[in-house]
Amino acid sequence: MNEAVKNDGVTGADKAKLWAAILIAAAGIASFYVLKGDQADWVRWVVFAGGLIVAAAVFFLSQYGRDFWKFALDARIELYKVFWPTRQETGTMTAVVFVFVIIMALFFWGVDSILGWLTKLILGGPDAGV
């Protein structure tokens, strides 16, 4: 993924395919709700899934779809390059985070308590100076 995906070579036909895919997907979704009560549930689901499948096919026939497919393949290659920590490293870092959170919670509790006491002392509220 060293080079950005460019939309060079996108034609008006590709834009039309993109809009057609969007409209087909929207029609599949809308028909799911329009057919409610009139058709069996399995018919509604088949029409819904069919609309999404046809929309995906139209999308992947456009330059946008080919660019997206190339991006997905490049992302998969980059995922293999990720350095994943070992189980022991993960456990150690989790423990460090928990200890840090506890320390910070105690610190902010102390600061809040002191500021609350000072506020009561300055404003002369009940139990001031006690």
96 belongs to a structural domain? yes
Residue-wise pLDDT for 23-70, tens only, equals 999 999 999 998 888 888 899 999 999 999 999 999 999 999 999 999
User: What is the span of the domain harbouring residue 45?
Assistant: 12-80
Residue-wise pLDDT for 64-80, tens only, equals 999 999 999 999 999 99
18 belongs to a structural domain? yes
Q: What are the Cα distances from residue 81, in Å, to 35, 77, 88, 90, 115?
A: 47, 7, 20, 18, 49
Q: Which are the contacts of 55, defined by CB distance < 8 A and separation ≥ 6?
A: 21, 22, 24, 25, 28
Q: What is the pTM of this model?
A: 0.56
- Report the alpha-carbon angle 50-55-59, nearest 5: 150
Are residues 67 and 33 part of one domain?
yes
Q: Which are the contacts of 119, defined by CB distance < 8 A and separation ≥ 6?
A: 125
Are residues 19 and 76 part of one domain?
yes
67 belongs to a structural domain? yes
